[in-house]
Structure 1
Amino acid sequence: MNTLIAFNKPFNVTSQFSAHEKYQTLKEFINLPKFYPAGRLDTDSEGLLLLTSDGKLQAKISSPKFKLPKTYWVQVEGLITQQAIDKLRSGVQLKEFFTQPATVTFLDEPLQLWNRIPPIRERKTVPTSWVSITISEGKNRQVRRMCAAVGFPCLRLVRVQIGKYNLFTHQLPLSEWRFITTKDLYL
């Protein structure tokens, strides 16, 4: 029985099935009963979202206590510094908690990414840069808040991997979904 779905969520799609007055919802892409997101991906974020019809699996995927790593490609405003990368790697003080250390690397502009609609705002006088950030906590808007805390606001955030399931190695196009197994996730 298929209980797990990988979906490549576009920008401006909310991670819910019920109608939304402003945004598209999951129902416009996935028409299967009793599937629910395992964790969240904010409306203004793109990329890999897992859905399941198994409540225990949903809890296991979304709970930070199971430490399932999630990797994001993040475009930030400005040329990110080594000092900012080091801070992200060692943990960042956010308002209500100190983040666990993240795995962070500089990233060339990822040419395999789809064009975002609408595109990010571009300012001719302000360059941008990309980093890859892997966390296992996944608190509310955590990656965006971490980048802002080190002085580099996030312009675009794409989740590319959960556990060992990667959008690009599995060739999952934008707006498409497929059934996967838990073997696809766990290292």
Structure 2
Amino acid sequence: MKPTTRGTLAAVMTGVAAVVGAAAATPAVAAETVPIPVPLNGVEQALGLKAPRIAGELPVPLPGGLEGPRYVEGRMIPDRAVPQVPLSGGLPGADVRAPLPHVLGDGFDHLGLAAPAADLRTLTPGLSLDSPLGAPNPDHLGLPGLKRPQAAVLAPLLKTVPGANLEMGSGA
């Protein structure tokens, strides 16, 4: 087989392997949380005792659809001049399981804390303004009327329901 044929075959096989690997793997953007394991096997082997098992979850924040300014009749500046930006993600989660040795006798019990990642929905603050000029007034030769300027800050929003489970039981 010629070297150019081998190179072409290797490139094709590499491309096929990459496509198959990409199809099998879940993209990180599609995942809601990214697992974070904490490897403590070295501590367990070095010290000769049971180490706790610690893992975490880090949520991936995703921006939502932006609701743009709304034009209102009779106003010179659109409503919600600075719109609120929705973000969705979550609070980080944790899973900790620590062995508790028996004081008398052999064996271990465990103490565990499971706090799964909780959904979190937010809206950033926004701003709504209105100018001191009104709509053109035909009684004043088409000049706009005067009114009081208006400004409003749209309050931020935060929605979540965190939860945790603390347990103690037999087994390591």
**Shorter-chain TM-score above 0.5:** no
Between structure 1 and structure 2, the one with the greater Rg is 2
Q: Which structure's relative contact order is higher, taking Cα pairs within 8 Å and 6+ residues apart?
A: 1
Q: Which range, TM-score by smaller chain?
A: under 0.3
TM-score (norm 1): 0.18
Whose strand proportion is higher, 1 or 2?
2
